[in-house]
Structure 1
Amino acid sequence: MPLVIYLLGLAVFAQGTSELMLSGLLPDIAADLRVSVPVAGSLTSVFAVGMIVGAPLLAIVSLRWSPRRALLTFLIAFVLVHVIGALTPSFGILLATRVLAALANAGFLAVALAAATRLVDPGAKGRATSALLGGVTLACVAGVPAGALLGQLWGWRSAFWAVALVSVPAVFAILRSVPAGAGEDVTPSARRELRALRRPRLLVTLLLGALVNGATFCAFTYLAPLATDVSGFTPGWVPLLLAVFGIGSFAGVTLSGRLADTRPRPLLMAGGLALLAGWALFAFVAASPTATLVLLFVQATLSFAVGSTLISQVLYAAPEAPTLGGGFATAAFNVGAALGPWLGGIVIASGLGYRSPIWVSAALVAAALLCGALAAGLRRSHKAVSGSAA
């Protein structure tokens, strides 16, 4: 695997840290900029919306540029808005920088997925995808706790400076190692790529990705109250539980990198069924601290193994549309990241308790398995009809 892909993964690590680290910085930001904590929480919401909207939009815009130019533009913009965010005394400006950071993040990830898969052999797209997405999982393990620690030691602005600095090595790696055309034989065309995205297989894969990621973030978002109110952990255990989830997610991305290129269907089928069984079991035994600790690792591993494989399958399903494929994959997974917590919040607000988001996670995975089975059945029927007609 070329070194540049791991350095692109470092940039993805910085971007994942930026997206997730505010959970530990919101009280300090609110106090410093004289807004309420709920108002400060809008910094997270606008980032999510920017990712969903920005991924396909900026993927289309980037088709006019070389991959090197697109990656540099998005990454330098990401660095600059974090510098502005670290310096500004205005909440309004900080909010604007979060929107711009999300757009830059979405554009960078869409182009990076496409560029990385062009820099490796055609049959190694899964490995390249896992190397990039490993940056997101490492953000869960190390980036978010490090951001919180920096905030405690030197204030929330130091975390923004750190994200900007960590991104800089990738700028030099792109200048040095990403070819201007990244190995393309055909000039990218938005119309041609959009036509390729109409394929039923790709649309189904995007739907499955949104559902699986929705399940993951539904449970993850409400992990802290589940751990303290149901499993009996003290609040001091929550950072460790989050780290366990992050380690599991890294293990899942690593597993996907080894199997997604050679055995994607068995991984998706077995992993999906195990994921459904695991969420259901988790809901039943969540009162046990030991079971919670074990299943948290297992479910994170399965969730990210299946999710990463689905992203690589998007790129395999639309080889003529790598950039827009990456953009729509990014958007679909962020739709899931927004949908899951929203559904979890609804069932909690309905008085069903903190186990209920886990049942929602199980339902979302069940829906994904059902959609996948129906799509496979339709494909077989279509092939049978086509064979008979021939």
Structure 2
Amino acid sequence: MGPAAVHVRGGVITAVTGYDDVPPGAPVQEVGDAVLMPGLVDTHVHVNEPGRAEWEGFQTATRAAAAGGVTTLVDMPLNSIPATTTADAFRAKLDAARDRLHVDVGFWGGVVPGNADDLRPLWDAGVLGFKCFLCPSGVDEFGYVAEADLRAAMPVLAGLGAPLLAHAELPEPLARGALAVAELDGRHYAVYLASRPAEAEHRAIELLVRLCRETGARVHVVHLADADSLPLLREARAAGLPVTVETCPHYLHFAAESIRDGATDHKCAPPIRDRENRERLWDALGAGEIGLIVTDHSPCPPEMKGLDDGDFLRAWGGIASLQLTLSVAWKGARQRGYTPVHLARWMCEAPARLAGLERSKGAIAAGRDADFVVWLPDEEFTVDPAKLHHRHHVTPYAGATLPGVVAATYLRGRRIYHRGQLTPGPAGRTLLRPA
């Protein structure tokens, strides 16, 4: 990290040279003392269009992304109607995205019970990999898979070389947790936390590692919340298994002890756990045991968050943070001695690799797309929900003071955001895996 000149032609980086190595007469964009970093790649975003665009849509999600320095996102296959579990449904998704993208967007397909024969057609149509739930997803259109379903799907994915992204909670521990708190006051965060015990994550990861070993399929554990499961993942990688893991800004920022009763804007699944657990997640990032920070951006209409009655057990689980992810991550990273170089590794390079986009995204290097975020690490701002661009302004970060102001975002050399203003007209493209 240091002064440099980044040369761009036709939207692609052609060279990275010394600061003074600039051809005479070439147009120059000087960023001064700001940090120039690759545009963020967020591989865990719920756009929900078509079918539930009143929750979130391509226009609003990608506007929020641009304002937050995210130049590439990958859309999750559930919450839209139809869910992206067949090639026909994927075509409907692509139709919904057309002419609505302010940043580049790729897509995950879905693994659900009975769709093993749909996986290759989805892969050939251009999805970047596949997502499954090991417990109820919250929507009827996207069923959860049992071990038998995984045994049907994972050999297919292994043959394709496609990653399987898994929501790792098993239903049996969740059912016991729900039963244990059935008569308790759902306004207490401790009650919700007890309803989703860490055992559910731990046992799901055990199953995924075992099936990875048997089938050879690539497995990626999404939104890890339970630090007690880290040894399982460490042992899997030590054995040479293709297992990776991510966590999210909310697990790195909040702690259960500080969540007020009734504050359902903090509800997510798996739940936010205690401070000691949070610090172990940070330690695992520093040690390379967790490779990615991505948002799990999952908005819904405000009434579904249950802010009026504050009942965690009835509220929709999901946190919207696409526009804030860089600043939230930077606050915690800076406090623990990490640098922007670490953020680039966790939030640009590794997510691009997960999605198979490393040839064009995730780094400032010759041959990559000229996607950049220019940000000011020491400048602070207070989160005003009214200034967020995602569909609804509900956020647990409201009123928080965060460091790291995004000054500008560039997509393939074109400035799409500058100091609070988005460039008119969508500049993003759909990113399809070559057949």
With the shorter chain as reference, the TM-score category is: under 0.3
Higher helix proportion (structure 1 or 2): 1
Higher strand proportion (structure 1 or 2): 2
Normalised by the size of structure 2, how large is the TM-score? 0.24
Normalised by the size of structure 1, how large is the TM-score? 0.26
